[in-house]
Structure 1
Amino acid sequence: MTQITAVNGSPRKHGNTDTVLDAFLRGAERAGAVTNKISLVDIDHKNCRGCNACHKKGVCILTDDLTPIFDEVLAADILVLASPIYSMTVTAEMKSFIDRGQFLWAQKFVTKTLAFSDDHLRNHIGVYLGTSGQDIPHIFDAAFPVVRAFFNDAGFSYTENVLFAGMDQHGGVRGWPESVAFAEAEGKRIAKMI
């Protein structure tokens, strides 16, 4: 069975991102996937200190509720990073999570204890699910390289974006039921890719 782990970087429970992410996961479950949603707002964790201790042994010196979540992320077949656009990029919650993944970068490029085969990368998909209030050109452009960095470090081929621009003009997800239907269809489609 396809295992999907979704990391939700929205600080708003039951808001736009949370709602379309739930629909995405519902669609994936209907396609036979097993899903797990992690909401960062519920996780007690510290920010990366930039101490570079992970460059010595490839291990983060911080231990908190986020520590075991990286094991769940690495065990997934499909990883969804979900975040609304705040100040033209991902939320602080999502950025903090990605920064804490620096130890993966260190394992790949410094200690050289982590590598992913071409076969692994073909069978592990990274998905960015994004929402934005505004519908302006390039609204998601600053988010793409941030999530790509984490997908690359964690061994996922970043191949899919599920984007919902212009939530404000619809009055949010509740005024835009088509967004929920689209998210569910995308979850079903992407779950079948593995």
Structure 2
Amino acid sequence: MENTNIVLENVRLSYVHLLKPYGRDPQSPQKYQTTILLPKTDTVGKQKLDAAIAAATRNGLNGKWNGTAPAKVPTPIWDGDGLTQNGNQFGPECKGCWVFTASSAADKPVDVVDAQMNRIIDATQIYSGVYANISVNFFPYNYQGKKGIGCGLGPVQKVRDGEPLGGSAPSAKSVFHAIQPQAPASPAVNPLTGQPM
């Protein structure tokens, strides 16, 4: 089996579920996962991706696929300037990037560290929009007759903060304004007696 582990540097992360496993619907298994945005300008990173997928394809031919590969091997890599699997446009953060999702089973937690190699346990530090170095592993699958290449998630190192991507709640300042304290209302005065009514 060929080595299909690679490290990509300074990528942006989206749909981040690294500290707690997540499942889109109750029936699907929960996983640690994130979507990785690799800038198309990172040609070295793209070469690593292509080489790892080619190696995983060869591993599939020699293993799970019993010597027969699909005419076009499905891979997890998408063009952020194109359309999603569902035929929709990718979000604006995906433009100019190669986009793919990596995951790890719920019983295999991901090691998440900061730039100084300290473990990150504070969920506010690792969010959609952060920049990171990330270890991923490509592997062949043969599931219910479908063959292709999947992507496993390894350790993650936060490199720097980035602008948070969508889905965040609005701040109080963006929806409210300061309320001026009101003076207590003066009691009504009887104009004949000058006494409060």
- Name whichever structure is richer in strand by fraction: 2
Q: Same fold (TM over 0.5)?
A: no
For the aligned pair, the TM-score class normalised by the smaller chain equals under 0.3
Task: Report the TM-score when normalising by structure 2.
Answer: 0.28
Task: Report the TM-score when normalising by structure 1.
Answer: 0.28
